[in-house]
Structure 1
């Protein structure tokens, strides 16, 4: 909680002189709410000697009676942050535990001033300003007035003041001044009387200098309500030298119509705002102040109001000149400047010269999966339904955690985050247990695996990514596995634009966490014959062209003879395992015997005499045979960006493992058949729209009972697409409609009428 912080220490970062009245009052309210005393507020307020009045804090304190929406210590904390204070963690959680970091910010926890910071403040040496030698006060005034106002506009100025004492400190403050004359009237008089400014504007008081209101008035007063055009804002700072202020103003390309030396320790920049009303003026001034403050120029926030006074050039202030430094510098308008600032804040790297390309060794990212994927890159595993894609991802997570092989490829060892979007918490854990047991190589490094269970709690990928990054940024993961992506899919998967935005989230995760991002996606419905591996994924081609590596699973057609061979191997392995377990001293088995069901049966009966044990082994044999019958054969092809294409990998999916089997290499894919090639080519040439319609009809027919409506969620799960994709397809299909979250078939009469 913010209130646990020492607010007195935070106030060291907040200058009361830089706050407006309401901000000053808010500090007092916050201190009282958090249990501090009026003395604390009073002692802090003393730092603003110009506005401090003895006893005012104590009087005001008694009026703070509390409300249903109190001002809390968070207000002081934010003021301190705005002035350079940093908490131990540079970000915070919202009420729901989500990071407040937005998509326009970096996901790495950094100083809030990093965004929009273009000036390297540590290297600001200062830009020299020379006091004018042949100074013509009248000409300066004319140039200034012509830059800011039209001849017919009414302006307000002050050239006299009163001396206010606060202890030993004295300060000249402006009187009400004049607010009924036009700029043209003053300019005409100045030209007529040359440098006799007093003849035009009244005799000035050289002790205090002169001021002007930088926005035109209505001639009725000098309040904000008397401002007729919200044209300019004032940027004033005395937090650094005049020369440094000058350099920052120039570096930021502020759209300054006039830059004036105050005759003291600050420059006054009149910045073009060009707001259409007061609310827009406030919005633009807040934006302006944010930019200049984040670039080292701590502005006086009392200057926010549009009727504020600024120093007027052409006058003497004590023994110093108030003189015009420049007019019309920086960008030409507010819009041009804001566009420039936003472009500067695009977070894109600068172009890099290749002049020293051959003089330094290039350090590539380490390989996560040898010959397949580098750390910090992206990989897609694609395949049809029931290919065991999720099981293969769990196998991969284990291989990375333990530093083992996966599909025959060596994996680097490290921490991995498995994002589970589909299974309930305990089912997901059981899958890891089952696979660990089947692999049977121990689980010494299972602590390298973190699982984030999000079934029923998922959000679209653009919302999930920042939450994932925030939780993962301290864990040093070398891989993040997201399974399956259709649960977090945003937009229509057939839209290249929408899918590009979707896959960009994987880039953000990989970049911010410096880890590989691995995910799976399903094949499009129908035959994959005649397609390259890069074109088999469902939806937009973005899915195939975005990852750095694609591993594609294609099912192999297995003959009955091969299944008989697989059953034979399963029986032999069951018997061999039983003999080793129950008769470990039996060693009469040759290597050839381990491939013969007849020989292994003989060894089993010879080595084991217990009928109870034999009955148990028989039940295990039945299970092994059944598992062999259910096994499916797969070929894994790769499309790689960083590495040469590898030789295809072949494996059986024997629940829950994919087990390599080189003997499957000789099986030819169905697409080698001439007739199936033609059929596959015809299907591949169907338009996406027609294919999507057929898939929707197929899903409805499979899930509907007697043509009754089906939940959109069920349709989405069947098609393995997002809900939005279902709605998008329904809009293009004249036979279906959606109402109340249910997909219904439109009656034929309705279709005819619509035609």
Structure 2
């Protein structure tokens, strides 16, 4: 914001500018980031002012090829004799020093002042005609330190009665509210009372709260109130060091009022505005406009500024406090599209994205992650995929530090790789020190801030998991922590998780991870390892008799899914199947693997034929029982029943005997 804009605007008499200049001022204020309320407040000094017109025009101001900037306002003021001061007017980030003069550091009362009209406007705005109003003028007393303090005052007159009296005595406000001590001024309560007293329990409507900050200069208070778009019904100059903002809170009862005022005050202080919290009571007194105090006016500085209601203001607050990025139209990127993050693992993972490796127990997932760390550190391929060289943090949660370091050294040795870039691997050994991930992430982010890392590997996540892994909501919150790692560090987050129990071969790769489906849907890249069933011929010709065979499948968000990769786990590293021996090997848990494992497995046709032959051999006397069939076939009774069912009514079971179905009955007993 231009530092001279607010000062220049105060110098321009809106009643003397034409409509074109009036529009130009509004467009310039919007372009410089000021709220509409500043333009509206300035416009109200013009007899041509129409309520709501500024808002309608403001909404129609949009970007143009040659935007109207704050210099337009400065130039209009210069043409009228204004000279920019050294400090200028207030910008949002400026520091203001209160000089203690009666001009209140650039916040000056209007040249023409009608005290009675000020109070009429105040009463009409805040109260219904039948509302009883509490106020204090001459009924004051002096405390021990010589400070003048108000008493209960008057609290049984209605707003309608007061307004009628003010209009009747248009030149004498004291005729309505009574005389006041010139050095003291007077007060008014901004919420209506029941006419029985002035305590909180006497308040009948909880519509308004008082926001006051007497430690900031007047001009800075004004800027803050407007910048934070407080839903201010009336802004009253106290005649002293503060503005009294009568803020709409629209509470249904005292409990809601108390909560809303506490939120309001906390919000203001969080935004750097010190607030007088003694004003939190709904029966509090505020300065009455229309009176004077030590020669200074207590006047109505503005009305209806900022947001129009508490609900509307909460929408603004959410935008300020939720820390969410702004909404941006696609057109903003039409000519300048954002650059995609570089690929850390070519065709699989970008820098700043998330990757999950899932697999069964003893698949060597930790070794695979360590190999990935080495590949990134040294800039060499990993399982055949090119890795961009960078720095990686390995967060070890499971094994003791000595074992962890030894594993890395063994991997280097097994790969026949010189340790050239080991400084690119940073190890954080947390076995015995693990905390839930939501507590770990802030500590992690703080520690890696200056490490210039490209990836963070967390192994394994079951050590830091929070909540029930089968609960989608709880796992969604858990996975959000990986987003925080990526967002706040710019690194890729890489982690592993185990398979669910049972056979996995017939499941899709993305459905094998244990727990909620969130694990599969959340990462940008999921790589799944499943063990392969080997033929006896391959088993007998293994280079390493303890080697296991695996297939890597993918579910990728940024890239096309990869062709499945087959490899061996030969402790301590994984080696690609360069000979193609594993291409035809089925995954464990599939029907094909079951048949390979059990060479005696029969087809359905063979089982049916075997059952018919057994029945024919046993049916010498027309009495074939389940026990007979069990003994002949050397199977269990469950198998006999299952084969009867698969024969689809060809045989029936009647009174313990197996009979050929002659059409008389198809019911099993």
The 3-state SS of whatever aligns with 2:233 is strand
The 3-state SS of whatever aligns with 1:490 is coil
Consecutive unaligned residues in structure 1, runs of 5 or more: 1-118, 568-627, 680-755
2:565 is matched with: 649
The 3-state SS of whatever aligns with 2:292 is strand
The 3-state SS of whatever aligns with 2:331 is coil
Q: Does 1:182 align with 2:157?
A: yes
Give the superposition deviation at 1:482.
Answer: 1.3
Give the superposition deviation at 1:418.
Answer: 1.7
CA contact (8 A) 2:137 2:177 kept: no
TM-score, scaled to structure 2 = 0.64
Give the superposition deviation at 1:215.
Answer: 4.6
For the structure 1 residues 320 and 156, does the alpha-carbon distance in structure 2 shift closer, same or farther, using more than 3 Å as the test? closer
CA contact (8 A) 2:357 2:365 kept: yes
1:122 is matched with: 93
TM-score, scaled to structure 1 = 0.58
Q: Does 1:633 align with 2:543?
A: no
1:408 is matched with: 384
For the structure 1 residues 159 and 429, does the alpha-carbon distance in structure 2 shift closer, same or farther, using more than 3 Å as the test? farther
- CA deviations on 1:400-454 (whole Å, 9 max, x unpaired) are 2333332122323333222222223333333223323323323343333333333
Q: Does 1:420 align with 2:399?
A: no
CA contact (8 A) 2:461 2:497 kept: yes
Q: In structure 2, how many angstroms separate the alpha carbons of the residues matched to 1:356 and 1:155?
A: 54
1:583 is matched with: none
Find the partner of 2:231 among 221, 245, 255.
Answer: 255
Give the superposition deviation at 1:299.
Answer: 3.5
- CA deviations on 1:87-107 (whole Å, 9 max, x unpaired) are xxxxxxxxxxxxxxxxxxxxx
1:521 is matched with: 497
Q: Does 1:155 align with 2:134?
A: yes
Q: Does 1:137 align with 2:53?
A: no
Q: Does 1:534 align with 2:515?
A: no
2:527 is matched with: 551
1:446 is matched with: 422
Moved more, 504-513 or 222-231: 222-231
For the structure 1 residues 647 and 241, does the alpha-carbon distance in structure 2 shift closer, same or farther, using more than 3 Å as the test? same
Give the superposition deviation at 1:282.
Answer: 5.9
Which aligned pairs between 1:335-346 and structure 2 lie closer than 5 A? 336-338=312-314, 340-346=316-322
Consecutive unaligned residues in structure 2, runs of 5 or more: 1-89, 97-103, 596-669
2:369 is matched with: 393
The 3-state SS of whatever aligns with 2:226 is helix
Q: In structure 1, how many angstroms separate the alpha carbons of the residues matched to 2:361 and 2:239?
A: 77
Q: Does 1:194 align with 2:170?
A: yes
- CA deviations on 1:357-379 (whole Å, 9 max, x unpaired) are 45336422122222321110111
Q: In structure 2, how many angstroms separate the alpha carbons of the residues matched to 1:278 and 1:432?
A: 64
1:487 is matched with: 463
For the structure 1 residues 228 and 453, does the alpha-carbon distance in structure 2 shift closer, same or farther, using more than 3 Å as the test? farther
2:348 is matched with: 372
1:437 is matched with: 413
- CA deviations on 1:495-541 (whole Å, 9 max, x unpaired) are 33332222111111111111000011222333333433223323333
Which aligned pairs between 1:171-250 and structure 2 lie closer than 5 A? 173-176=148-151, 178-184=153-159, 185-215=161-191, 232-237=208-213, 242=218, 245-250=221-226
1:271 is matched with: 247
Give the superposition deviation at 1:138.
Answer: 3.0
2:449 is matched with: 473
Q: In structure 2, how many angstroms separate the alpha carbons of the residues matched to 1:369 and 1:289?
A: 50
Q: In structure 2, how many angstroms separate the alpha carbons of the residues matched to 1:177 and 1:530?
A: 82
For the structure 1 residues 536 and 123, does the alpha-carbon distance in structure 2 shift closer, same or farther, using more than 3 Å as the test? farther
Q: In structure 1, how many angstroms separate the alpha carbons of the residues matched to 2:338 and 2:206?
A: 55
For the structure 1 residues 237 and 464, does the alpha-carbon distance in structure 2 shift closer, same or farther, using more than 3 Å as the test? same
For the structure 1 residues 331 and 124, does the alpha-carbon distance in structure 2 shift closer, same or farther, using more than 3 Å as the test? farther
The 3-state SS of whatever aligns with 1:142 is helix
CA contact (8 A) 1:156 1:216 kept: no
Q: In structure 1, how many angstroms separate the alpha carbons of the residues matched to 2:408 and 2:182?
A: 84
Larger Rg belongs to: 2
Find the partner of 2:288 among 312, 326, 340.
Answer: 312
For the structure 1 residues 493 and 278, does the alpha-carbon distance in structure 2 shift closer, same or farther, using more than 3 Å as the test? same
For the structure 1 residues 175 and 546, does the alpha-carbon distance in structure 2 shift closer, same or farther, using more than 3 Å as the test? closer
Which aligned pairs between 1:49-64 and structure 2 lie closer than 5 A? none
For the structure 1 residues 303 and 636, does the alpha-carbon distance in structure 2 shift closer, same or farther, using more than 3 Å as the test? same
Q: Say which structure is richer in helix.
A: 1
- CA deviations on 1:257-289 (whole Å, 9 max, x unpaired) are 322133455421012346688787665444323
The 3-state SS of whatever aligns with 2:454 is strand
Give the superposition deviation at 1:313.
Answer: 0.8
Give the superposition deviation at 1:392.
Answer: 0.4
Find the partner of 1:658 among 526, 549, 574.
Answer: 574
The number of aligned residues is 497
1:716 is matched with: none
CA contact (8 A) 1:124 1:248 kept: no
- CA deviations on 1:386-411 (whole Å, 9 max, x unpaired) are 21111101111222233333212232
For the structure 1 residues 556 and 229, does the alpha-carbon distance in structure 2 shift closer, same or farther, using more than 3 Å as the test? same
Find the partner of 2:339 among 352, 357, 363.
Answer: 363
